Structure 1
Amino acid sequence: MDKVVSSAADAVADIPRGASLSVGGFGLCGIPSALIQALHESGVDDLSVVSNNCGVDDWGLGILLCDKRISRIQASYVGENKEFERQYLSGELEVELTPQGTLAEKMRAGGSGIAAFYTQTGVGTQVAKGGLPLRYGSDGSVVKASPKKDTREFEVDGQTRTFVLEEAIRADFGLVRAWKGDRHGNLVFHRSARNFNPLAAMAGTVTIAEVEHLYEPGELDPDEIHLPGIFVQRVVALTPDQVHDKRIEKRTVQRKQHTTGAGAGSEGVESTESKES
């Protein structure tokens, strides 16, 4: 089945107000920026998002957040985004903070048909006991807090340990970015840009993948496939401009040292480092 859609706008056209989304990426690495931009241009709002983080103020999910298109987000990291902090603390945004490994497993479990699982992460904390602020009031009071979670004891390596029950995540739509993809939706991710993308794809009921390089069925080596096409319903081939439109999250500058010859000393050399691959 050919799953290629003509444009990112067409791919997200049926995402309605109030939809839930699982979105790939880590920081600005591997984020489905073209799909997010198309979703922003569609005007849809009241979105419930599951993602490792919420982009930065002017890129990634941050552009949806800045225009108040997101009403709720479940994430493990909320740094690098001042508007996120402002909306959360002022009561404009509901936030469920989840340990990073737990968040990853919740998405994987959702895509695998597993309703819930037990983990030791969070035992003895508000993650298990409840009471984490999900939403603040305008006066700084907590108007909605996380509920207490079920716990159970298991014997592991001869010791009785407490585990907390975590429910799986399923979203209405999944948005991901891949390095390579074929028309059947088989995806290959590039190095660190793999991150949460396969998991976000698995968690989506309808998953849309933007791919940097589109291949015909059979051209990709089956052994290099990271995510089989059964988890992907739509594929968008990016334009060259979209492929290269990647933001650097952290820019660093270092000085190159010359230790021999007449020109020994320091020469200013700019070097950039990025999580993006």
Structure 2
Amino acid sequence: MNKVRDSAAEAVADIPDGASLAVGGFGLSGVPEVLIRALYERGSTGLRVVSNNCGVDGRGLGVLLAAGRIARVTGSYVGENKEFARQYLSGELEVELTPQGTLAERLRAGGAGIPAFYTPAGVGTQVARGGLPWRYAADGTVAVASPAKETREFAGRPYVLEHGITTDFALVRAWRGDRHGNLVFRKAAANFNPPAAMAGKVTLAEVEELVEPGELAPDAVHLPGVYVQRVVALSAEEAADKRIERLTTSASSTRGAVRD
């Protein structure tokens, strides 16, 4: 039952080229930075990633993206990652854009063993009709487009069929975790981490604080250890390395701080 690995490098050692990965995080919150860096150092390439976004330039999944290690992304938001946009528009990267709530439910459904579900999100748009560019050609034309999806009415309202997602591996970050893999997420870091962890056939969790079994109150556990196969304890420096994607302050917050 002891799922703790000695290092992140050991935890990711069997992730092969072409593997599919569900990765937790939202922007720079709750991103498994240490596991991603270990995967970068391992050299795995041709990866198929499912994540809300693909990091930013130089952080998170952006590290793998800049190195040309990612072949396909299923996500909701290109965000501030200029390299992501460049690779997508130049035809180097295949991208399946999915409504954010739909993506979260696809991951959760896959982890719960639900093969597909109906949702009103996307009805009447290219999400349902098909034709969204998944990959561009070098000349800017669409090389691969999304297919049309099944739609059906329930109680007079149309819904579109979406498929659950499962992946070979999942990488997540938690605030606290025990040796059995039970995890607790803190505040905004409880974003895509729980459903991503559920979707992975083999889930790797980096934890800011490792505790012994029994120290976590059962009703405080956000994700039970049945979904987690490997745990990596972060050092104090790794746990404290949390960047702010965009710092915004108000005029009132700086009033009085200016000296003559």
**What is the match of residue 262 of structure 1?**
none
**What is the match of residue 129 of structure 2?**
129
Q: Which amino acid aligns with 1:226?
A: H
Aligned 8 A contact 1:149 1:165 in 2: yes
Partner Cα separation in structure 2 for residue 146 and residue 94 of structure 1: 11
Partner Cα separation in structure 1 for residue 145 and residue 258 of structure 2: 51
Structure exhibiting the larger radius of gyration computed from Cα positions:
1
Instruction: State whether structure 2 residue 143 is matched by structure 1 residue 153.
Output: no
For residues 36 and 268 of structure 1, do their structure 2 counterparts lie closer, same or farther at Cα, with a shift above 3 Å needed?
farther
Q: Which amino acid aligns with 2:237?
A: D
**What is the match of residue 143 of structure 1?**
143
Q: 1:178-208: per-residue Cα shift (whole Å, max 9, x none)?
A: 0000000000000111100000000000000
How many pairs were matched up? Answer: 259
Aligned 8 A contact 1:210 1:237 in 2: yes
**What is the match of residue 257 of structure 2?**
267
Q: Which amino acid aligns with 1:189?
A: F
**What is the match of residue 158 of structure 2?**
162
For residues 268 and 80 of structure 1, do their structure 2 counterparts lie closer, same or farther at Cα, with a shift above 3 Å needed?
farther
**What is the match of residue 184 of structure 2?**
188
Q: Which amino acid aligns with 1:192?
A: A
Q: Which amino acid aligns with 1:130?
A: G
**What is the match of residue 57 of structure 1?**
57
SS of structure 1 residue aligned to 2:201: strand
Alignment of 1:88-99 (within 5 A): 88-99=88-99
**What is the match of residue 83 of structure 1?**
83
SS of structure 1 residue aligned to 2:78: coil
Instruction: State whether structure 2 residue 23 is matched by structure 1 residue 33.
Output: no
Q: 1:232-253: per-residue Cα shift (whole Å, max 9, x none)?
A: 0000000111101111111234
Unmatched runs of 5 consecutive residues or more in structure 1: 259-264, 270-277
**What is the match of residue 73 of structure 2?**
73
**What is the match of residue 201 of structure 1?**
197
Partner Cα separation in structure 2 for residue 191 and residue 214 of structure 1: 18
Q: Which of 214, 226, 247 is the equivalent residue of 2:243? A: 247
Partner Cα separation in structure 2 for residue 253 and residue 109 of structure 1: 38
Q: Which amino acid aligns with 2:152?
A: R
Instruction: Tell me how far 1:268 sits from its aligned partner.
Output: 3.6
**What is the match of residue 20 of structure 2?**
20
Q: 1:100-124: per-residue Cα shift (whole Å, max 9, x none)?
A: 0000000000000000000010001
**What is the match of residue 44 of structure 1?**
44
Q: Which amino acid aligns with 2:169?
A: F
Unmatched runs of 5 consecutive residues or more in structure 2: none
Identity fraction in percent: 67
Root-mean-square deviation (Å): 1.3
Q: 1:43-62: per-residue Cα shift (whole Å, max 9, x none)?
A: 11000000000010110000
Partner Cα separation in structure 2 for residue 105 and residue 133 of structure 1: 22
Partner Cα separation in structure 2 for residue 266 and residue 190 of structure 1: 33
